[in-house]
A and B are shown apart, each in its own frame.
Chain A
């Protein structure tokens, strides 16, 4: 494909995604408007903001994570990042009690949890991605086992905690695009914005990192430092999306791989926005269809996980280590 044809294809597909995203947003805001418009629109705006933030956070985090790990199967969720976040939250509610937890400022708590996630995650993944290159299958296995491990501890704590406290926790945890955590919206937007700016400034370094460790070092990139930095940013995005709507395992895998399919390039200046836009189209569009057209018959997360799970299996079967 000639450079010109490639540039045209990329522009065209961005335009297509842009139109789809606008349609999804318009549909979400305007379909089935009844009663007090001002009131309905203000509620919908909050929800929309949450969905868009989650879509962008998960889409870009997954693309960058896959670049860092040089494969297209692993995602932060599959590696247990969000399970770790849930565990931290469970431990917090368990040790402080629901009363104290709800009394705490949601934003302060979110920041504290994110900091802990960074520290724990850093330690864990430093060991996993450490000095020697490990096999993809070992990593996958370790991630899945760790995820189960974190979820099991959370489960254990949730069973022995007071039912009332469990309700508080449950309210925060379950992936639901209907109950976006509104207190955090402004802070989340700020954080996602800052991380995106950082990714944008790193875009060319990320392009080089995608060549793999050895090539990156050969080209003079401070590999260890850059990977640690980018992994930290990814962790922050995972914390944001998990705090807003709870864990969604396969969503990132879905949009990242769609982005690779649609856009014939390896440039992060294209892939990161593409995955984010695809995320917006899928989340907002999906939610619109489910809510307004199918009138709430199914939870969007179930549909996303179902499709994402199938894609995951296909990728594994295709030997998607490439």
Chain B
């Protein structure tokens, strides 16, 4: 379980996160949605130890993330950030191989190589494995980074807008993959995303953030209410049921 307790952060006196409290139980897929500037990515950065909070703490199965050794955390928690670019001359396989670093410290053994191949296959990258990253399209590069996160083989995975740059086929593919990883491998996955409809269709729970706070954390059926969503996004939104799915229209 990831427990976020009283996390606050301000930039130059402007609060970005205000005493955020959140419990992500083990297992399942949770979507984190909310308008721009709600603090979703910032919260993910704090959980991922990239930013340090002004106050509060985050624990993972009781382990304080700010205190624990980095390598220990990296074997249990993987984070995919929004913009991933590197100047280094890497092939897809090289990049995915870095996912094994917390386990192998760069000395890849047979088990690591198998994990890398599996991750490449999951994301349909086997044919592109030996291409350099700068020879790929944005969507392919995004998939390569997701493959690296998968190769890290952690119980907990945080993804910051993984569907960016992806076409419908690959977006659906990634979401299916995320659900499969949660269902079959028992992974706990939190995904920041903008598409409410995908969130409602693919996730067991939805966390709604606004103005630096978590304002709701519930099942899709409870979140997908026209009045509530209209208020969150300050835009008229209708919710309709189509073939036992709830769709938000805007």
- With known contacts A204-B106, A207-B106, A217–B48 Cβ distance under 8 A: yes
Q: Are B89 and A220 in contact (CB under 8 A)?
A: no
| Residue numbers in B under 8 Å from A220 (CB-CB) | 69-75, 101-102
B88–A211 touching, CB < 8 Å: yes
Contact of A219 among B69, B74, B94 (CB under 8 A): B74
Instruction: For chain B, residues 111 to 153, give those with C-beta under 8 angstroms from any C-beta of chain A.
Output: 130, 132, 152
Q: How far is the CB of B192 from chain A (nearest CB, A)?
A: 15
Does B63 interact with chain A (Cβ within 8 Å)? no
The reply to whether B130 and A266 contact each other, CB–CB distance below 8 Å, is: no
Question: B93–A3 contact, CB under 8 A?
Answer: yes
User: Are B89 and A217 in contact, with the CB atoms below 8 A?
Assistant: no
Query: What's the least CB distance linking A243 to chain B, in Å?
Result: 31
Contact B98 A211 (CB under 8 A): yes
Whether B87 pairs with A322 at a CB distance below 8 angstroms is yes
| Closest chain A CB from B119 CB (angstroms) | 15
Q: With CB as the reference atom, state the residue of chain B lying closest to A267.
A: B94
Q: Is the CB of B88 within 8 A of A266?
A: yes
A266-B74 in contact given A1-B130, A204-B105 (Cβ < 8 Å): no
Please name all residues of chain B whose beta carbon is closer than 8 Å to the beta carbon of A264 when the two chains form the complex: 89, 132
Task: Tell me the chain A residues, 151-207 only, with Cβ under 8 Å from chain B.
Answer: 203-205, 207
B67 within 8 A of partner (CB): no
B88→A210 contact, CB < 8 A = yes
B230 located at the interface, meaning its Cβ lies under 8 Å from any Cβ of chain A in the complex: no
Contacts of B94 in A (CB 8 A): 265-266
- By size class, the interface of chain A is 20 to 34
CB neighbours (8 Å) of B49 from chain A are: 217
A-B contact count (CB 8 A): 79
* Contact mask for chain A residues 57-79; partner B; CB cutoff 8 A; 1 contact, 0 none: 00000000001001110000000
A264–B84 Cα distance when bound, in Å, is 20
**A206-225 interface with B by 8 A CB criterion:** 207-208, 210-215, 217-222
Question: Cβ of B86 and Cβ of A211 under 8 Å apart?
Answer: yes
| Alpha-carbon separation in the docked complex, A178 to B63 (Å) | 60
A244 to B88, CA, bound (A): 31
Q: Does A110 contact B (CB under 8 A)?
A: no
- CB-CB < 8 A to A120: which residues of B? none
CB neighbours (8 Å) of A214 from chain B are 48, 50, 81
Using Cβ atoms and an 8 Å threshold, which residues of chain A touch B106?
Answer: 203-205, 207-208
Q: How distant is A285 from chain B, measured CB to nearest CB, in Å?
A: 26
Q: Which of B50, B74, B85, B93 contacts A213 (CB 8 A)?
A: B50
Please name all residues of chain A whose beta carbon is closer than 8 Å to the beta carbon of B102 when the two chains form the complex: 219-220
Instruction: Please state if A217 and B87 are interface contacts (CB–CB under 8 Å).
Output: no
Instruction: Let me know if B196 is at the binding interface, CB within 8 A.
Output: no
Task: Identify the closest chain B residue to A218 (Cβ).
Answer: B79
Whole-angstrom CA separation of A72 from B74 in the bound complex: 28
Residue ranges of B at the interface with A (Cβ–Cβ < 8 Å):
48-50, 69-75, 78-79, 81, 84-91, 93-94, 98-99, 101-102, 105-107, 130, 132, 152
Given A212-B85, A218-B74, A220-B101, 9 new contacts (CB under 8 A):
A6-B91, A205-B106, A210-B88, A215-B81, A218-B78, A218-B81, A220-B70, A322-B85, A322-B87
21 A-B interface contacts by CB (under 8 A): A67-B88, A205-B106, A208-B98, A208-B101, A208-B106, A210-B86, A211-B88, A214-B48, A215-B81, A217-B48, A217-B49, A217-B70, A218-B78, A220-B72, A220-B73, A220-B101, A260-B89, A264-B132, A266-B89, A266-B90, A266-B94
